[in-house]
Structure 1
Amino acid sequence: MSKNTDIVLSLDQVTQIEVIPTILDVVCKTTGMGFAAVARVTDDSWVACAVRDEIDFGLKPGGELDVKTTICHEIEQHREAVFINHVAQDDVWRDHRTPQQYGFQSYISVPIVLRDGHFFGTLCAIDREPADVRKPSISGMMKLFAELIAFHLDAQRKMQKSDNALDDERHTSELREQFIAVLGHDLKNPLAAFQSGLHLLSQSSTDDRTRQVTRLMQQSADRMHELVDNVLDFARGRLGGGIPIHPADTDISVLVSNVVAELQSSHPGRDIRTTLQVDRTCLVDPGRMAQVVSNLLANALTHGATDEPIIISARTDSAGLMLSVCNGGDEIDEVTRKTLFHPFFRGRHDRPRDGLGLGLYITSEIVSAHNGALTVSSSPEQTCFNVFIPHAQLLHAVPR
């Protein structure tokens, strides 16, 4: 911080302490001295921040002295208060250059030290006449006033930090909204238009080669759309107020069956089995819950043993909805389990993976938005991801 900036900031801080004028008035009346001030003292400056002057000493708020000509310069170094009753009769101070230069006979200077140990400056008083300032009532009062000023300065610093943090949060919030807007509009909308164009091209083309290329482009566009959706969900969950949900009366059996059918069609060689014991509907967001099932099943298809079945179970009872996706394959170690639901987690580095590593994180956020819990258990035999939605989300019996 520059010298000028420090002076302006110090003047502003002291000016905001409403009790300072009263303190200086009490100091003058109690000690009988005609000048009292709160000074900002550094290695290279002495600046009066607040002044009461009844002896025409000539300093006003903002006025400066050469710090090396002041006793405050010495106090900054040893942090000890100085009380002088009568300079001319004091063996220590009678030949000191400061009282000779400024013409005072009585003097008080008490260090103002903040809670973190930072030396702010001094509470000081002078007069051209002697004064009895070494008595305990005066020294105790002055030290108490210095501590009171330090308390107010500390409180101001804390308030300033809070204000700065609030400004930073507001700025972050604005950036967050801009980021989400970019994803939601500047990326998604052109991508949707691109997908629509590919669909029309595939429908109108009669050339097999063109259709094949268009189909591959459509798959890539679908994957891009999924990545954008995942990053958008990440922004809402991690940076915003959480992933929004819109609960509705949902038949979980139908939802699970539809997701399984969709992924089974794209993985015809895999064995996907379902065990559904759902006797009532659930109050969940059907789109988001389908995303949960899809993410967990896609994870099992990616990481599970290809020669072992994937088993999806769903069950409702008095406790709530239990949903699990289990697959064979390598056991997930304890260290990895602790970070599975972190964003951008991509598992073992010796296996190439598509995507950003947001699937399990987003799944966890969706479950949390339903007041539920997502856990994982793993053994050498199988790995299971388990979703629990509490009973408060269950509705009425499903007709069969």
Structure 2
Amino acid sequence: MNPPSLHTTPPSPVDSAEAIARDVAAVGRISAVPSLLKIICQNTGMGFAAVARVTDGTWTACAVEDTIAFGLLPGGQLQVNSTLCMESRAARLPVVIDHASTDPQYRDHHTPRIYNIESYISVPIVFTNGDYFGNLCAIDPRPANVSDPRTVAMFAAFADLIARQLENEDRQERAEVALQSERANAELREQFIAVLGHDLRNPLSAVGATADLLIRRQSEPDLVKLGTRLKSSTRRMSGLIDDVLDFARVRLGSGMNLAIREADFLASGLRDVVDEARASNPQRDIRDELSINGVVRCDPARIQQVLSNLIGNALTHGGTDDPIVVRAAIQDDRLELSVSNGGDPIPPDDLPKIFQPYWRPANSKPGGGLGLGLYICAEIVAAHGGMLEVTSSAPEGTRFVVTLPVA
């Protein structure tokens, strides 16, 4: 039995050599298919069974069981119009023939004559989204009782199983491609962050060193004043770079970097932040009540960063004549760190927005920052498994409260 030769026509994208090879390989990876085809032949007495990829333009064998020397191997093709699978595809229904030469509908059909077959069955393989893959089919030159409902049900069950397995293969392949892409993107993100930090910090360090040299010129007050102003700007720029890098890490998928450890002297580190704020803003009243008796498991540098941002926010938006009060204490196995300031309260409509990135109140002065400080604070606190909350009213002022687990 020799299948007819194929006509050569320009392939459509779905019938490209790459697409056909991919689907043949996908069926070949389903380990159960050979066993299913053997079961079909054994239960029906038919000598040839196949999983076929069927489109409007091509019929391709993806897996075969051949005991009658039909001569078709995986990857082999037939003229699609010479097969009954084309009719099954059009109707999306099985085509079943027990004895073709005596069948009223198929005794004069070209397919049984071309392939010299008497028994035939072809059942659609359809994905859950309705896409048509092909057919599970079997043929034999002898008659067979394939129209038996149990036989048709077996074919339908096997066809559905093959469809589900192909879908699983596709999902797994897509997941692997996505994983490889994500790994490549992650490497690119890390390179971007590293380059950004390097390229911005190096010139800033040079500016900071220049400021230090000017401050040392004590005999020239104008240069000292210029150096002090330059140092302040450098410090502010460094903070902005930190915020941008943290934002990039969070939004680009790397997450907030933490170096968690047992911090024995967290109060001392927080007091350093307060002292630095006092030194940079001698005209403001910044008070502290720090009483942390115990060990706190955290990233101390990150908690210092949170406090620095919160104090900076209070300096920018709080009343200039009102004190800024920093408190920290351990209560009930939780660390509570707060920054309070007076001045105009935050409007109620703005409270839900203040932890959003790049958001700034409508009355913000130009050059007041990127609007990332409070967002970064919230991300750091969340990465510690804590909470950052804010309350604001005219009588009580504005108060940011960080609550962190101690252990």
Per the TM superposition, whether the score is higher than 0.5 is yes
> What per-residue deviation string (whole Å, max 9, x for no partner) do you get for residues 181-232 of structure 1?
2234343244324432453366469777666655554444333322222223
CA displacement at 1:237 relative to structure 2: 4.3
Aligned to 2:4: none
CA displacement at 1:107 relative to structure 2: 0.9
Q: For 1:347 and 1:93, how far apart are their aligned partners in 2?
A: 79
Assess, with a 3 A threshold, how the Cα gap between structure 1 residues 19 and 320 changes in structure 2: closer, same or farther. closer
One-letter identity of the residue aligned with 1:82: V
Q: For 1:130 and 1:45, how far apart are their aligned partners in 2?
A: 27
CA displacement at 1:78 relative to structure 2: 2.4
Which sits farther off after the overlay, 69-78 or 190-199?
190-199
Asked if the contact 2:46–2:139 (Cα under 8 Å) also holds between the matched residues in 1, the reply is yes
State the secondary structure of the residue aligned to 1:138.
helix
Asked if the contact 1:87–1:105 (Cα under 8 Å) also holds between the matched residues in 2, the reply is yes
Assess, with a 3 A threshold, how the Cα gap between structure 1 residues 272 and 16 changes in structure 2: closer, same or farther. same
When normalised by structure 2's length, the TM-score is 0.84
Asked if the contact 1:27–1:36 (Cα under 8 Å) also holds between the matched residues in 2, the reply is yes
CA displacement at 1:8 relative to structure 2: 1.3
Pairing 1:71–2:120 present: no
Pairing 1:259–2:273 present: yes
Assess, with a 3 A threshold, how the Cα gap between structure 1 residues 71 and 164 changes in structure 2: closer, same or farther. same
CA displacement at 1:348 relative to structure 2: 3.3
Assess, with a 3 A threshold, how the Cα gap between structure 1 residues 215 and 323 changes in structure 2: closer, same or farther. closer
Which sits farther off after the overlay, 293-302 or 205-214?
205-214
Overall identity of the aligned pairs, in %: 45
State the secondary structure of the residue aligned to 2:153.
helix
Q: For 1:316 and 1:348, how far apart are their aligned partners in 2?
A: 36
Unaligned runs of 5+ in 2: 1-12
Which sits farther off after the overlay, 188-197 or 357-366?
188-197
Asked if the contact 1:50–1:61 (Cα under 8 Å) also holds between the matched residues in 2, the reply is yes
Aligned with residue 330 of structure 1, among 319, 339, 345: 345
> What per-residue deviation string (whole Å, max 9, x for no partner) do you get for residues 320-351 of structure 1?
322222233233435x4344333333343875
One-letter identity of the residue aligned with 1:264: R
One-letter identity of the residue aligned with 1:182: V
Aligned with residue 361 of structure 1, among 372, 375, 391: 375
CA displacement at 1:171 relative to structure 2: 1.6
Q: For 1:145 and 1:202, how far apart are their aligned partners in 2?
A: 84
Asked if the contact 2:258–2:302 (Cα under 8 Å) also holds between the matched residues in 1, the reply is no
CA displacement at 1:16 relative to structure 2: 0.5
Aligned to 2:313: 299
One-letter identity of the residue aligned with 2:84: I
Q: For 1:73 and 1:250, how far apart are their aligned partners in 2?
A: 79
One-letter identity of the residue aligned with 1:6: A
Which sits farther off after the overlay, 279-288 or 359-368?
279-288
Aligned with residue 343 of structure 1, among 349, 357, 362: 357
When normalised by structure 1's length, the TM-score is 0.85
How does 1:254-293 map onto structure 2 within 5 Å?
254-274=268-288, 276=289, 278=291, 280-283=293-296, 284-293=298-307
How does 1:1-400 map onto structure 2 within 5 Å?
2=14, 3-200=16-213, 203=216, 216-238=229-251, 239-245=253-259, 246-252=261-267, 254-274=268-288, 276=289, 278=291, 280-283=293-296, 284-327=298-341, 328-333=343-348, 336-348=350-362, 351-381=365-395, 382-390=397-405, 392-393=406-407
Asked if the contact 1:250–1:286 (Cα under 8 Å) also holds between the matched residues in 2, the reply is no
State the secondary structure of the residue aligned to 1:385.
strand
CA displacement at 1:247 relative to structure 2: 4.0
Q: For 1:44 and 1:354, how far apart are their aligned partners in 2?
A: 66
Assess, with a 3 A threshold, how the Cα gap between structure 1 residues 78 and 278 changes in structure 2: closer, same or farther. same
Assess, with a 3 A threshold, how the Cα gap between structure 1 residues 5 and 356 changes in structure 2: closer, same or farther. farther
Q: For 2:141 and 2:292, how far apart are their aligned partners in 1?
A: 95
Q: For 2:361 and 2:85, how far apart are their aligned partners in 1?
A: 63
Over aligned residues, Cα RMSD in angstroms? 2.9
